[in-house]
Structure 1
Amino acid sequence: MDRSADFLDLYQHGFIRVAVAVPAIRVADPAWNAQQTTALMTQAAEAHAAVVVFPELGLSGYTCDDLFHQQALLEACQRALAEIVEASRELAIVAVVGVPWRVEQRLFNCAAIVQRGRVLGLVPKTYLPNYGEFYEARQFNPGTAASSTEVDIAGEAVPFGSGLIFECQDVPNLRFHVEICEDVWVPIPPSSYAALAGATLLLNLSASNITVGKADYRQRLVSLHSARCLAAYLYSSAGAGESTTDLAWDGQALICENGDLLAESDRFLRDSHLVTADVDLERLAHERMRQTSFGQSAALHGPQLSRFRTVPFSLQWVSCRRPLQRRIERFPYVPADPQKRDERCREVYNIQVQALVQRLSVAGQGKLVIGVSGGLDSTHALLVCAKALDLLGRPRSDILGVTMPGFATSTRTLDQALRLMEAVGCTQLQIDIRPSCQQMLKDIGHAHTAESPVYDVTFENVQAGERTSHLFRLANLHRGIVVGTGDLSELALGWCTYGVGDHMSHYNVNASVPKTLIKHLVRWVADSGQVGQPGSDVLHAIVDTEISPELVPGKDGQDQPGQSTESFIGPYELQDFHLFQLVRYGFPPSKIAFLAYTAWLGHDKYTLTDIKKHLRVFLQRFFANQFKRSCVPNSPKVGSGGSLSPRGDWRAPSDARATTWLADLDKVPDADPMGNIKSLKA
């Protein structure tokens, strides 16, 4: 079996490709419009889209006005639809086109759902605008006016009504609902109920003339509606060819998923155009399961949901081995855009500071005791402490910064710790922990001696324990609290010694901040000039320092850290990615590997083999170290990416096994399919 080929299949990972088309039309020329629609439908199918949506009344043109009551036009629209149905016979795609249709001697503004030579259903517009420039009630009836639930099209009984949900039998979670233009502008759109009834794709055929500011409003409307419904929303509006007697048209096409804009067309194009995007149906399904109020809302609106009927269909696709057509952020906790990144840093920093201010407001006036190593985590925690005291009107000397060099402390990090504390203006204390560590090693019968060193885990943890013991006793002495420094990434990987400083404190300001973000936070403080030039210089030096526990001496002296954390647990930039996808979205490891591979594709840094190796380490360590997370101190949650607090986002048994997740990871091929992806891109 070619697992490499399966790994490249979008559908294996819960994605579906969708398209929004805007044809250039001719008003009241259905034959011409059918040709344009068929060409775009074929183009969307060749792009491997499963669904393509066209504008409102696209076969006739939206601006026909009283021509809609002309028999010749309506019959021409029927013939145009028949042409599209025939053209769809050999295409593996569902096309949703706009057409006027007579039912019970009344005219309806409809969407025809076409697939593989048949019409799956006919959906009438529910709300007809009859204000401003719109006079639809002059020609059309609202969908609620019809009593029929079926219509005859070319001798076949076709489901009719606004309460139709089209469900794919061979693609999990692919269920779509169709509404038309004004339907999404009302207080409670029909698609809101459809989403509660299980529709994951919401399609809108729109005309929507353009006026100043309207395009931005449309985008916000569609984006927010997709977020509220935990769904994907496809929106197509009329473009070139519609009458400009009194109006203008921009042909805006939008694809949004749960509040994120996946694709948007250029506007005011003279030619037909198409946009495509890959929607993560699995993510949407997970969000609905996770957000239990979604289910509660569905239960509350049960009577409204009972009117929906399901129309089954099958795509009959074997696979879609294509590069993923959406941006996967390599750093999900850190925005790529510099301006947004600065905004994120400012927001996270303020959350941490506000949380510490509140804790200090009830903790008394004692000192804030913090271990300062000259590394990233303690640096950022110290910056948060300084800002918190500024807001409280207390002197920064109320911070007791303690640096505790040990057997492996480098001259670089010790110098950075001292310079940092000087720049911040806190009270400084330096304690050499080597004598107390030697005494502890001797007391417990450890074999380590200066002449015959033994660098095992006990040797390392004795140093960590001594540092923590000093911090807590200093807090007792000064009637203060110990401020913790350990971060989210370390908690996830269990890269913290149980019960010591990077795990235990009176209050930890960093516990929900991942390592990749802390780097940017420290750099942001430096670049924003909050600590003066000497302070900024040392902050930049700290960011550039190798991440190390500094517990075992290096072979080349003590100028630089002698250990590399990432050589033990893997690169933080990958492990933070794995953490986000696992905890935030509950994705299986095979999908996480696919997303990581896609995110790093073209950067020539990590192969699939590398990703699989580091993800295995992550899973093994994540499950094995849950017991450490079950007793962490209080700490503020800073982002939607989640925290690992047992009182918040993550509540898990300490003795669960990683077996199921590792078995899923084994689905990922050992051979790197890079060549296959490159050939597909070419």
Structure 2
Amino acid sequence: MTDTLLIAIAQLNPTVGDVAGNLAKARAARAEAARLGADLVVYPELFISGYPPEDLVLKPAFQAACMRAVEDLAADTADGGPAALVGSPWRDGERLHNAVALVAGGKVETVRFKVDLPNYGPFDEKRVFSAGPLPGPVMVKGVRLGVPICEDIWTDEVTECLMETGAEILLVPNGSPYWRDKPDERVGVAVARVVETHLPLVYVNQVGGQDELVFDGASFGLDADRRLAFQMPAFREDVALVEYVRDGDGWRCARGPMASVPVADEADWQACVLGLRDYVGKNRFPGVVLGLSGGIDSAVVAAMAVDALGPARVHCIMLPYRYTSSESLSDAEACARALGVRYDVVPIAPAVEGFEALLAPLFAGTNRDITEENLQSRTRGTILMAVSNKYGAMVLTTGNKSEMSVGYATLYGDMNGGFNPIKDLYKMQVFALARWRNANRPDGMLGPSGEVIPHNIIAKAPSAELRENQRDEDSLPPYPVLDAVLERLVEHERPIADIVAEGYPADIVRRVESLLRVAEYKRRQAAPGVKITRKNFGRDRRYPITNGFRDPGVPVVFGKSAKARLPQGDRGDF
């Protein structure tokens, strides 16, 4: 029995499906743990496969590759160095489990299975895994360690079982994705388990982007008295040594890192940048290309792209037409110059007018409407995709959550692209992040400091500039009102009547709800983007496209006095 246990926390960024690459990362982290003198190294949940593996984990060949990798890591431990707790899919007869293996002394000593499989929001584990039995502790250097896996600590059943079967420290491997205020939520859950068990708890989280999810790391420990014992940084990989010592009948953390964790706008910015960086890097794109319109959304996306990839890998293109203002031209150029990116101007008039000429016989006798507006957007999308095809850079889309909610976007136009870092940010959040980034440059950002988004872009009224003197608020409610109503409809599923009772105009609430409903078909065709809110479109909110339900809400009479008219045609209809 020992009175000291040195644990290396391997807060790492795996790639789903890259079993060989993840094993190499695990080996490198174990080598660093050995250098630090660790007795044990702990990896995040399902580290060998990457998290979440989704239906990939159902492939027998993939399961076998993951289990071989665990056995290979186990063989390494014959060198007398640290033992390891490593997460991997594990087949036990006919059942497939989300598992953690203890490897030591050259072999797989024991395996523990996740009990509580989450099946809500972005999680879908009951689809692919079987729940394990209630676990007992594992033994390292004579110390009984409880290993609940992620969701196992969100209720008290598993940790209570571990306490009753003699666990002395709780080590929790996690694949816990980011959304705003999630770190505080995790700590609250961990504190509850510590209070119930009177055991210290070590929370080990994954870091990095995986499709729409971003994992923020921010691993931490709590002593049995609920005090924060150590805190690792957020949004970056790290291997840190923490020392636990026996103190009377229990254990406490004697030393470990104490990093600060970003919150609010800084955390959201870091999440968007990391999600974009990993999506581009893990899918091996050489860089990105986007349309820089002189508006707030494309400017923020360009700044995030430069922070993620560096200016040399970001190509911005202004695609002006007759309705593009001189102000937008100068704002886009100023933004590109501040960011240091390649910037080109490609006028689209010849292409748009060519389409109109081709369609003139078919459209004879009709008036100009949203159709001609969407031709402009689709021309821009075609040009950006051509540049992508020619040079390999991925097109970024730039629609915010407010626009995606109500369908204020054009299919095969401004929705063309491979990834959207602001997809889950409402319009007012985009403005707030622009102001925040102009005043701050966090560590790890590859873009310049200072004003990277010109003040005029933030100050001017938003406009799609698809017709003369157009403003977004000609078609939509003011963004502060729109965002507040959408948050209640999307994040909280509030009935129309309840929102109206809060003081929001009944006609606006009903119109926004209608637009939200009918735009589902567009969102199904949208590029993936970083999850920032509690309920994003895609993994979290899965509504049917064909949907006959209507919230009866409150009676509304639509008339000429309505404060904001509805967008028509492809940019949103009801």
Scaled by the length of structure 2, what TM-score is found? 0.49
| Greater C-alpha radius of gyration | 1
| Greater percentage in helix | 1
